[in-house]
Amino acid sequence: MEFKLQWGLLALILQSLIVAGECFTPFNVTYDGRAIIVGGERRMLISGGIHYPRATPQTWPDLISKSKEGGLDVIETYVFWNGHEPVKGQYNFEGRYDLVKFVKLVGSSGLYLFLRIGPYVCAEWNFGGFPVWLRDVPGIEFRTDNTPFKEEMQRFVKKIVDLMREESLFSWQGGPIIMLQIENEYGNIQNSYGSKGKDYMRWAAEMAVGLDAGVPWVMCQQTDAPDYIIDTCNGYYCDSFKPNSNKKPKMWTENWDGWYTVWGDRVPHRPTEDIAFAVARFFQRGGSFQNYYMYFGGTNFGRTSGGPNYITSYDYDAPIDEYGLLRQPKWGHLKDLHAAIKLCEPALVAVDSPQYIKLGPKQEAYVYSDNGSKCSAFLANIDEHNSVTVNFRKHAYTLPPWSVIDYISKNWNHFKEPIGVWSDSNFTYQGILEHLNVTKDQSDYLWYTTRIYISNEDISFWEQNKASPVLTIDSMRDLVYIFVNGQFTGSAKGKWVKVSQPVKLIKGYNDVTLLSQTVGLQNYGAFLEMDGAGFRGQMKLTGCKNGDINITEYMWTYQVGLKGEFLKIYAVDKNGTIEWTELPSDAIATIFSWYQTYFDVPDGSDPVALDLSSMGKGQVWVNGHHIGRYWTLNAPKDGCQTCDYRGAYDSDKCVTNCGLPTQSWYHIPRSWLQASGNLIVIFEETEKKPFEISIKSHITETICAQVSENHYPPLHAWKINNGTISLNQTAAPEMHMRCDDGNTISSIKFASYGTPKGSCQNFSRGNCHAPDSISVVSQACIGKQSCSISISNAAFGGDPCRGVVKTLSVEMECSSSSSSSSSQMI
Ligand SMILES: *[C@@H]1O[C@H](CO)[C@@H](O)[C@H](O)[C@H]1NC(C)=O
Ligand SMILES: *[C@@H]1O[C@H](CO)[C@@H](O)[C@H](O)[C@H]1NC(C)=O
Ligand SMILES: *[C@@H]1O[C@H](CO)[C@@H](O)[C@H](O)[C@H]1NC(C)=O
Ligand SMILES: *[C@@H]1O[C@H](CO)[C@@H](O)[C@H](O)[C@H]1NC(C)=O
Ligand SMILES: *[C@@H]1O[C@H](CO)[C@@H](O)[C@H](O)[C@H]1NC(C)=O
Ligand SMILES: *[C@@H]1O[C@H](CO)[C@@H](O)[C@H](O)[C@H]1NC(C)=O
Ligand SMILES: *[C@@H]1O[C@H](CO)[C@@H](O)[C@H](O)[C@H]1NC(C)=O
Ligand SMILES: *[C@@H]1O[C@H](CO)[C@@H](O)[C@H](O)[C@H]1NC(C)=O
Ligand SMILES: *[C@@H]1O[C@H](CO)[C@@H](O)[C@H](O)[C@H]1NC(C)=O
C-alpha cells in the first residue's frame, strides 16, 4: 500500500515527556533564541485561545479540561477592557468577567496562561475592547503618542498586572501566568501614525516592562519591537517568520484555525489537514510556541460582537465548538499532532537549529539530533499539486447532534415599540449629531426626527413628472430605517454608503424619522476614535421643483434607544412594568415589536440553542440575559462547492451555508436556564412573528466520521532508527470516535468499509461494501466512550474490492447510561 503524505511529521524519542503538575511551585520564565525557558528548561509549547467572557464561568472548567486533554500546555486569552471598565473608574470583575477566577482555574488544571492585555485587542469584539467612554476623554487620540490615551492605557494595564500580582498568579509566585502581551498587531497600522507611531510603540513596550510583572512580554506583528520584547507572528502560516533578533524564540501568537463570520456571509472552515501541516511545519522550521486562535471561540453574548456586522456566534470553526462540544475530527487530529510534537520535544529543545535534508524537489526533512540520544524529524511534502484530493465536506464531520425541535408556539405576548421619540429624554439640536456621540453605545439605536414643509408647487411638480423626491444621505453606517409620517419607507445598510430613498410626501408638514443603528462597533484599523457611526455629510431632499431641500441644518429631535430597552422589559423582575397584550395567532404583522413568553427545557447538560431562522432582525433575552443580536440574512448561493485544502488557505476557501442564513441557532448557556418557566423576550424589527421560534437540544448525540485507506498514517507507523526514518507500510490509518461528556456509544446507525456515499445522517452503501462492516465497528465501539478502528482490509475480513481505494464511513449514536433527556412542548 502506498501512503501519499500531504503533511507529515514524525518522531521517535527515547525520553519520556514532561507533564505539568497539578499545581505549581514558583518558577521563572525566560527565553533564548530557541525557546521559552520555563523553570530553567526550554519548552515547545502548544497554546490555545479561550476568551473567558465568550463562555460562562460554569463552563470554564469543562473547556479547560477539554483543552488539556487535547494536548495544550497553555491557555491564551485577551483581556477585555470595555467589559472590565464599562463606566470610567467603575470596574467589573464579576461573572463572565471574573478574570481572576478564570486564571486560577487554568492554573489548578496544571496549564499555563498567556495573558494578552492589549488593551486594544481587536478580537472581533465591540470597539476592539476599548470602552466607548474613551472617545470622550478630552484631546484623546487612540494608539499613538497622545498623553490622554497613554494615561488611560497605562492605568488599565497597571490595574490588570497589579491584580494578577495581588492574586499571586504569576509563575514566579506559583501561578500559571508565563507570558504577557502589550498592544496587539500594532505593526499593521503603525505607519498611519508616522513617527508618533514608533514613539508610542516604544512607550508601550517600556511602560509594560516597567510594571515589573516578572514574566516575558510579547508584541505580535511588531517587527521593530525593542530588544526586551519578543516580536511574534499571527497568521495562517508562520513557518517562514523570523523574530527580529536571534536572541528571541520563534513564536506564533495566532494560528487562525478558522475565521470569524459576518451577517449575510458564508461560514468559513479551515481544514484540519491544513492546520496540522502548518503547525508541523512551524515546529519543523524552528518554531517553539504556537497558539490556536481560537481553541474555543464561544459566543458574542449581548452586544459584545465587533464589527461592522459580526455575527453573535464566535464559533470560529475551533477544535471546541461554540457549545463546548469537541469538533471532530479537528480536535482529535490536533490532539494526535500535539502528542507527536510532545514526543519530539526533548530533541527539539536540545539543538539550536535542525539539520535540513532535501528528500526530493518538494520534499524535505528536518532532523533534530543530539548525536544519537534523542532524535526527531519532520517530513514535509510541500508540493501543492501532486497530492490526493480530499473532499472536505465528506471528510469533516457534518455535526448534526441537534435532534429535538420544540416550538415555542403558544401564548406569545406582544408590546409595540413606538416609532420615533418616546420619552422626556428626547432633545432637539440644529444639525446632524454623530451617532456614538449621542448614544455612548448604550443602545444600538438612535432616532432622528425632523419636519419638512412641502409646498403645493412641489406636489404638482411631482404629479406632473410622475416622479418622487428622493431623500439622500451622503454617507451612512451600519443600518438605517426610514419612516415618513410614521410609515416605514425603506432601509439601507453598509459601511459609509450613500443612501438614496424615494419618499412619498404630502402637502404641508411631513415628519421624517430615521432610525440609525450600529451592528457591532468597528474593532480594527487606525483612528478608531474617529470612526463613529450614523450619518456623515449632507442630508437633503432631491428632485424638488426649486432645487434640493437641504435638511442637514434643520432642527432634529433625538431619542436614544428603544422604550422597551430602557424599561428593561426583558428582565425577570419587570412583569407589570408594561402591559403585554396577547398575540393572536392571526395577528396582523407589524414592525418593531416586542414578544414575550415562557418556555421549558429538557433537563440535562446538553447544550440548548434557539432557532431564530423564522425571524428577521433584532435582539433576544432569556431570563434577563442578553443572548445577542440576531439577523436572518442569507449567504450568497454560490461558493460552497469546492474545497481544495492544498495550497495556501484563505477564509474564502472551504465555506459552508451557501444560500442559507449565516446564523440560525443562538446559544443559550445551560446555566441561564431552569427546567421550567424561562422568560424569553424578543425585540423584532421586521414584520416576522414569533410562532415558529423553536428550542433545540438533543437527546442523542450523533457522531460521524469518514476515513480512507490513503489517509495519513498514524503516529506509531513511523520509526527513526539510527538516523534513518522509516514508515511501517503495514500500519493502517485509524478512525477515532468519541462521545462527549461521559456518554457511551449506544448504536451503530451506519458503517460501511468500501466505497460508501453521502455524508453524515445520509450515508449509503456504494458498489463496494465489506459484509463485516457493521459487526467490526460494533465490536470495537458499542458500550465504550471512545474507540479506534483500523482502516485496513485485514480488519474487515479481506479486501472487498481490489484496486479501489476503500473508505470507512460510520454514523453512531451516543447516549448517557443514566438519565435520558426528554423534551416537552412549550
Ligand atoms: C526568579 O528570578 C529571580 C530574579 O533573578 C530570583 O530572585 C528568584 O529566586 C527566581 N525564582 C525562582 C523560583 O527561581
Ligand atoms: C554532536 O557531535 C558533534 C561532533 O562530536 C559535535 O560537534 C556537536 O556539537 C554535537 N551536537 C550536539 C547537539 O551535541
Ligand atoms: C420630548 O421631550 C420634551 C421635553 O422634555 C417633552 O415635553 C416631550 O413630551 C417629549 N416627547 C415625548 C414623545 O415624550
Ligand atoms: C463628537 O463629540 C466631540 C465632543 O464631545 C466632538 O469633538 C466631535 O467632533 C464629535 N464628533 C462628531 C463626528 O461630531
Ligand atoms: C446644506 O446646509 C449646510 C448648512 O447650512 C451647508 O453647510 C451645506 O453646504 C448645504 N448643502 C448644500 C448641498 O447646499
Ligand atoms: C405577570 O403578571 C401578570 C399580571 O399581573 C400575571 O397574571 C402573571 O402571572 C405574571 N407572570 C409571572 C410569570 O409572574
Ligand atoms: C548506525 O549507522 C552507522 C552508519 O550508518 C553505523 O556505522 C552504525 O553501526 C549504526 N549503529 C547501529 C546501532 O546500528
Ligand atoms: C507495523 O505495523 C503492524 C500493524 O500495526 C505491526 O503489527 C507490526 O509489528 C509493525 N512492524 C514494525 C516493524 O514495527
Ligand atoms: C443524500 O445522499 C444522496 C446521494 O448519496 C443525495 O442525492 C441526497 O441529496 C442526499 N440528501 C441530503 C438531504 O443530503
**Hey, CA dihedral for 680, 681, 684, 689, is it positive or negative?**
positive
Q: Band the pLDDT of 761: cuts 50, 70, 90.
A: confident
**Hey, CA dihedral for 117, 260, 654, 322, is it positive or negative?**
positive
Between CA 332 and CA 738 the distance in angstroms is 9
Q: How far is ligand 8, taken at its centre, from the CA of residue 318, in Å? A: 34
* Percentage of the chain exceeding pLDDT 70: 86
Query: Does the structure show a pLDDT above 50 at 380?
Result: yes
Q: Burial level of 305, CB count in 10 A (0-12/13-18/19+)?
A: buried
Between CA 562 and CA 566 the distance in angstroms is 6
Q: Which of 124, 254, 322, 417 is catalytic?
A: 254
Q: How many CB atoms lie within 10 A of CB 189?
A: 18
CATH of domain 418-559: 2.60.120.260
Q: What is the mean pLDDT of residues 666-694?
A: 95
User: Closest ligand 8 atom to the C-alpha of 790?
Assistant: 5
- Specify the residue with its C-alpha closest to ligand 8, atom 14: 728
Shared fold status for 44-350 and 418-559: no
Provide Rg for the chain, Cα atoms.
29
The pLDDT value given to residue 818: 47
- Is residue 728 within 6 Å of ligand 8 at its C-beta? yes
* Percentage of the chain exceeding pLDDT 90: 68
Q: How far is ligand 2, taken at its centre, from the CA of residue 369, in Å? A: 9
Query: Does the structure show a pLDDT above 90 at 370?
Result: no
Topology, domain 702-824? Jelly Rolls (2.60.120)
Query: Does the structure show a pLDDT above 50 at 824?
Result: no
- Is residue 550 within 6 Å of ligand 5 at its C-beta? yes
Q: How far is ligand 3, taken at its centre, from the CA of residue 405, in Å? A: 45
Cβ-Cβ contacts under 8 Å for 808 (sequence gap 6 or more): 705, 706, 707, 708, 735, 751, 752, 753, 756, 773, 777, 789, 791, 796
User: Closest ligand 6 atom to the C-alpha of 575?
Assistant: 1
User: Closest ligand 6 atom to the C-alpha of 677?
Assistant: 13
- Specify the residue with its C-alpha closest to ligand 6, atom 9: 575
Q: What is the mean pLDDT of residues 340-365?
A: 68
Q: Note if 69 is an active site residue.
A: no
Cell digits for 508? 404641508
Check if the beta carbon of residue 164 is closer than 8 Å to that of residue 175: yes
Q: Band the pLDDT of 651: cuts 50, 70, 90.
A: confident
Q: What is the mean pLDDT of residues 790-801?
A: 92
Q: What residue spans define the domains of the chain? A: 44-350, 418-559, 566-698, 702-824
What are 501-511's pLDDT values in tens digits? 999 999 999 99
At residue 189, φ and ψ (nearest 5 deg) are -125, 0
Between CA 399 and CA 705 the distance in angstroms is 10
Between CA 245 and CA 259 the distance in angstroms is 30
The residue with greater pLDDT, 25 or 743, is 25
For all residues of the chain together, what is the average pLDDT?
87
Between CA 174 and CA 76 the distance in angstroms is 18
Cell digits for 468? 418622487
At residue 198, φ and ψ (nearest 5 deg) are -65, -40
The residue with greater pLDDT, 388 or 498, is 498
The residue with greater pLDDT, 64 or 705, is 64
Q: How far is ligand 5, taken at its centre, from the CA of residue 550, in Å? A: 6
Q: Which of 85, 185, 364, 734 is catalytic?
A: 185
Between CA 392 and CA 394 the distance in angstroms is 5
Query: Does the structure show a pLDDT above 90 at 162?
Result: yes
Q: Note if 2 is an active site residue.
A: no
Which ligand gives the minimal distance to the CA of 215?
A: 1
CATH of domain 44-350: 3.20.20.80
Q: List all residues whose CB is within 6 A of at least one atom of ligand 3.
A: 421-424, 426
Task: Report the DSSP beta bridge partners of residue 49.
Answer: 76
Between CA 750 and CA 704 the distance in angstroms is 9
The reply to whether omega before 756 is within 30° of 0 (cis) is no
Which ligand gives the minimal distance to the CA of 722?
A: 7
User: Closest ligand 5 atom to the C-alpha of 553?
Assistant: 4
Which ligand gives the minimal distance to the CA of 750?
A: 9
What are 40-75's pLDDT values in tens digits? 999 999 999 999 999 999 999 999 999 999 999 999
Query: Does the structure show a pLDDT above 60 at 203?
Result: yes
Q: Band the pLDDT of 230: cuts 50, 70, 90.
A: very high
CATH class of domain segment(s) 566-698: mainly beta
Q: Which ranges of 87-182 does DSSP label H, i.e. alpha helix?
A: 99-108, 147-166
